Structure 1
Amino acid sequence: MTSPQTAIDISTDGHVHTRLCRHATGEMEEYVLAGIDRGLDKMIFLEHLEAGINYFDRTWLTEEDFEEYFREGMRLQILYREQIEVGLGVEVGYNRQGKDELKKKIGAYPWERVGISCHFLPIGDTGQHINLLSRQQQNIDIARQAGVDQLLSCYFDTLHEAVAELPGTVLCHLDAALRHVPGISFTKEHLQQIDDLLTTVKEKGMAIEINTSGFTMRGEPFPARKFLAMAIGHDIPLVAGSDAHRPEDVGRFFHNLRDYITSAVCP
């Protein structure tokens, strides 16, 4: 098993968003400059791709947005090649009903990284979706009405299917669903689902992202220590991502990651 002290590269930020996703601010070049200022060797943009989602607020890129994303990204790769390596990736939000469209769009570009996540789940037979990672009160209310345990179970099943079905390279947001709902907990059934999911992640040769946005939200990154320990137990590679939604977020809290990994292995 890889030593926890050397299990993660903190010179690369592998999860960066921009204003193209409509819920972040800043141009791509501002994020690149922030990465240079942080002393990073590499950063990977990981913009949102969704398909078949019925939600009142679009939080993902259109086809035209992705065309702009690649044009600008390739320009920045050339312009700053002597200072930082710039990668162009995608964060794919899995939706069973949009699976074929997602596969088609993934195949349309030469992504350096394909992050797998699940932000939206259908709300019964309403034809609408709930945003599981949203802090908006209406999503929290819907989650409580639908049943938190049931939604979490569906979330882990959906992630598992996504990992099995899509050509992913990194699993994002392992335990981030309903993160803004107070007092959520994970049952024994959830823990078994997570273990089964991690088994498939390992079989597919994927990595697990440690998302440092959690330091701001809850004092520790995603995933939490017990889930990180499970991933390490499966000998799954770890990658660092800030989930930056502002240029100043790039590389945030990376200096804490090695100690955090050690604390998960040796509590």
Structure 2
Amino acid sequence: MPDLPLPALDFTSDGHVHTPFCNHAEGSMEEYVQSAISSGITSITFLEHLEANIHWKKRTWLTDELFDTYFTEGGQLQKRYAGRIKIGLGVECGWNLEHRQQLRERLLARNWAEIGISCHFLKIPEHSNHLNLFSRSEEDQQLIIKLGTEELFSRYLNALEEAVEYLPATKLCHLDGAMRHIKGWSLTSRHLKQIDSLLRLMKEKGMKLEINTSGFPLRGEQFPALPILLKARTLGLEFIMGSDAHRPRDVGQEFQRIPALFK
């Protein structure tokens, strides 16, 4: 690989932060803002979960009514902390092929600071609930193993490519984060070909690739893994930092570990 310039990375900006409205995060929106300021972060983007017709054991996303509250509270914080920190109100849109039109319409109905793409859930025909690839639950983990990690991850990558093609998004979140709680599995040549196709489509669409540091406490490295980052850099994709914070103290977590990767 020829020498490439270091990518432009803004470590004072955290582009992936959650709120208690998603039903699986701690702390108030204001506590995340205050934590960001104390950590030297000058720009924060809340990126809350949007899903369409997902069936799982509990809600881990916002309803339209909660998004109304999210924008009201976020707008108040933007005014209160003006001049101290930039606050963006974005969305992490989960993909569901069967309800793609609903997803697109809901995204176009609001003025988001960022639209991130993810895919947490897959439909398994013989099960009433969707499979949550990102869940620690024993039920989901056992089902992942039963169905086969290689095939499920391939389906996941196909879903991401569908979403990138169809949705009006600005970035892709935690690309290889699916099945992050399964030990002993690895990317195959099939997966790598799919990832190459996905990255090329992102480049064509002008989308950014998120460097998500929530991977460090889970697997000792960021999402996505370094070979994927290097491939993305070769293709000329832009990167954006995100902590995926679900607790105020996690805003900007592990950002300091990223520069060394590209040296």
Instruction: Name the TM-score, length of structure 2 as normaliser.
Output: 0.97
Seq. identity, %: 48
Q: Which amino acid aligns with 1:186?
A: L
Corresponding residue for residue 43 of structure 1? 44
The answer to whether structure 1 residue 194 and structure 2 residue 202 are counterparts is no
Local SS of the residue matching 1:61: coil
Local SS of the residue matching 2:103: helix
Q: Does the Cα contact within 8 Å between 1:2 and 1:235 map onto a contact in 2?
A: no
Corresponding residue for residue 103 of structure 1? 104
Corresponding residue for residue 249 of structure 1? 250
What is the CA–CA distance in structure 1 between the aligned matches of 2:219 and 2:65, rounded to whole Å? 35
Greater mean deviation of Cα atoms: 229-238 or 85-94: 229-238
Give the C-alpha shift of residue 194 in structure 1. Answer: 0.3
Structure 1 residue runs of 4+, over 3 Å off?
none
Local SS of the residue matching 1:36: helix
What is the CA–CA distance in structure 2 between the aligned matches of 1:98 and 1:45, rounded to whole Å? 24
How many residues are treated as equivalent by the alignment? 261
What is the CA–CA distance in structure 1 between the aligned matches of 2:52 and 2:174, rounded to whole Å? 18
Give the C-alpha shift of residue 82 in structure 1. Answer: 1.3
The residue correspondences of 1:1-267 to structure 2 (distance < 5 A) are 3-4=5-6, 6-262=7-263
CA root-mean-square deviation: 1.2
Q: Which amino acid aligns with 1:216?
A: P
What is the CA–CA distance in structure 1 between the aligned matches of 2:27 and 2:93, rounded to whole Å? 21
Instruction: Name the TM-score, length of structure 1 as normaliser.
Output: 0.95
Return 5+ residue gaps in structure 2 as ranges.
none
What is the CA–CA distance in structure 2 between the aligned matches of 1:208 and 1:32, rounded to whole Å? 24
Local SS of the residue matching 2:116: strand
1:97-116 CA-partner distances (Å, limit 9, x unpaired):
12111111101210010000
1:237-256 CA-partner distances (Å, limit 9, x unpaired):
01100000000000111111
Give the C-alpha shift of residue 119 in structure 1. Answer: 0.3
Local SS of the residue matching 1:24: coil
1:178-220 CA-partner distances (Å, limit 9, x unpaired):
0101111111111000000000000000000000011111111
What is the CA–CA distance in structure 2 between the aligned matches of 1:50 and 1:78, rounded to whole Å? 29
Return 5+ residue gaps in structure 1 as ranges.
263-267
What is the CA–CA distance in structure 2 between the aligned matches of 1:80 and 1:125, rounded to whole Å? 49
Give the C-alpha shift of residue 123 in structure 1. Answer: 1.2
